[in-house]
A and B are shown apart, each in its own frame.
Chain A
Amino acid sequence: MSSAWEVVIGLEIHAQLATSSKIFSGASTAYGAEPNTQACLIDLGYPGVLPVLNKEVVRMATMFGLAVDATIAPRSVFARKNYFYPDLPKGYQISQLELPIVEFGELFITDADGNEKRIGITRAHLEEDAGKSVHEGFDKSSGIDLNRTGTPLLEIVSEPDLRSAKEAVAYMRKIHTIVRYLGISDGNMQEGSFRCDANVSVRPRGQEELGTRAEIKNLNSFRFIERAINIEVERQVEVIEDGGKVVQETRLYDSVKDETRSMRSKEEANDYRYFPDPDLLPVEIDAAYIEAVRETLPELPAAKQQRFVADYGLREDDAAILTASRALADFFEEVVASTQGKAQGVANFVIGDLAGALNRDGLDIEQSPVSTAAVAGLLDRIKDNTISGKIAKEVFEAMWAGEGTADEIIEAKGLKQITDSSAIEAIVDKVIEANPGQVAEYKAGKDKLIGFFVGQVMKETGGKANPGQVNQVLKQKLG
Chain B
Amino acid sequence: MSRDLHAKTLTELAAGLERGDFTSVELTGDLLGRIDSHNAALNAFVTVTAERALATAKSADEARAAGKAGALNGLPLVHKDIFCTRDVLTTCGSRMLENFISPYDATIVERLSGAGAVVLGKTNMDEFAMGSSNETSYFGPVKNPWNLECSPGGSSGGSAAAVAARLTPAATGTDTGGSIRQPAALTGTVGLKPTYGRVSRYGMVAFASSLDQAGVITRSSADAALLLGVMAGFDERDSTSIDHPVPDYTAALSGSVKGLRVGVVRQHFDDGLDEKTGTAVREALAVLEANGAVLTEVDMPNLDLSVPTYYVVAPAECSSNLSRFDGVRFGRRAENPEDLLDLYCRSRGEGFGAEVKRRIMTGTYVLSAGYYDAYYLKAQQVRHLIADDFHRAFENVDVIAGPTAPTPAFKLGDKTDDPITMYLNDIYTIGANLAGLPGMSTPCGFVDGLPVGLHLVAPHWGEETLLRCAHQYEQLTEWHLACPEDFS
Find out whether A and B make contact in their complex, taking CB atoms under 8 A apart as touching.
yes
Q: A50-B201, A144-B328 are in contact. Are A275 and B239 (CB under 8 A)?
A: no
* Chain B residues closer than 8 Å to A41, beta-carbon distance: 103-104
A279 touches B205 (CB 8 A): no
* Chain A residues closer than 8 Å to B364, beta-carbon distance: 273
Residue B267 CB within 8 A of the other chain: no
* Chain A residues closer than 8 Å to B100, beta-carbon distance: 47
Residue A358 CB within 8 A of the other chain: no
Residue of B nearest to A45 (CB): B324
B-contacting 9-mer, from A88-96, A153-161, A302-310? A88-96
Residue B240 CB within 8 A of the other chain: yes
Q: A47-B84, A48-B106 are in contact. Are A89 and B202 (CB under 8 A)?
A: no
A47 touches B367 (CB 8 A): no
B-contacting 9-mer, from A78-86, A188-196, A204-212? A78-86
Q: A47-B97, A84-B326, A92-B320 are in contact. Are A281 and B240 (CB under 8 A)?
A: yes
A-contacting 9-mer, from B181-189, B368-376, B389-397? B368-376
Contact of A48 among B84, B239, B322, B372 (CB under 8 A): B84
Residues 43-56 of A, flagged 1 when their CB comes within 8 A of B and 0 if not, give 01111111111000
Residue B37 CB within 8 A of the other chain: no
Question: Chain A: interface residue count, which band?
Answer: 20 to 34
Contact of A278 among B106, B202, B317 (CB under 8 A): B317
Contact of A279 among B90, B104, B240 (CB under 8 A): B240
Contact of B210 among A47, A48, A90, A278 (CB under 8 A): A278
A310 to B82 CA separation, bound complex (whole angstroms): 67
Residue A271 CB within 8 A of the other chain: yes
Residue B358 CB within 8 A of the other chain: no
A89 touches B328 (CB 8 A): yes
Residues 196-215 of B, flagged 1 when their CB comes within 8 A of A and 0 if not, give 00000111111011100000
Residue B92 CB within 8 A of the other chain: yes
A271 to B317 CA separation, bound complex (whole angstroms): 16
B329 touches A281 (CB 8 A): no
A89 touches B329 (CB 8 A): yes
Residue B423 CB within 8 A of the other chain: no
Q: A86-B340, A89-B328 are in contact. Are A52 and B237 (CB under 8 A)?
A: yes
* Least distance between A406 CB and chain B CB atoms (Å): 56
A91 touches B84 (CB 8 A): no
Q: A47-B92, A275-B372 are in contact. Are A82 and B320 (CB under 8 A)?
A: yes
A92 to B84 CA separation, bound complex (whole angstroms): 22
Residue A439 CB within 8 A of the other chain: no
A41 to B202 CA separation, bound complex (whole angstroms): 12
* Least distance between A41 CB and chain B CB atoms (Å): 6
A275 touches B328 (CB 8 A): no
* Chain B residues closer than 8 Å to A46, beta-carbon distance: 103-104, 324, 329-330
- Beta-carbon contacts under 8 Å, A76-129 to B: 80, 82, 84, 86, 89-92
* Chain B residues closer than 8 Å to A91, beta-carbon distance: 320, 322-324, 326
A274 to B344 CA separation, bound complex (whole angstroms): 21
Residue positions of B touching A, CB distance < 8 A: 83-84, 90, 92, 97, 100, 102-104, 106, 201-206, 208-210, 236-240, 316-317, 319-320, 322-326, 328-330, 340, 344, 364, 367-369, 372, 376
* Given A52-B236, A52-B238, A273-B372, 12 other A-B residues pairs in contact with their CB atoms under 8 A: A44-B329, A45-B329, A46-B329, A48-B84, A51-B239, A82-B319, A86-B340, A89-B328, A91-B326, A273-B319, A273-B320, A275-B376
Q: List 28 A-B contacts (CB under 8 A).
A: A44-B329, A47-B97, A47-B324, A48-B83, A48-B201, A50-B201, A50-B239, A52-B237, A52-B238, A82-B323, A82-B367, A86-B328, A86-B340, A89-B324, A89-B329, A91-B322, A91-B323, A271-B368, A273-B364, A274-B367, A274-B372, A275-B316, A275-B320, A278-B209, A278-B210, A278-B240, A278-B317, A281-B239
Residue positions of A touching B, CB distance < 8 A: 41, 44-53, 80, 82, 84, 86, 89-92, 144, 271, 273-275, 278-281
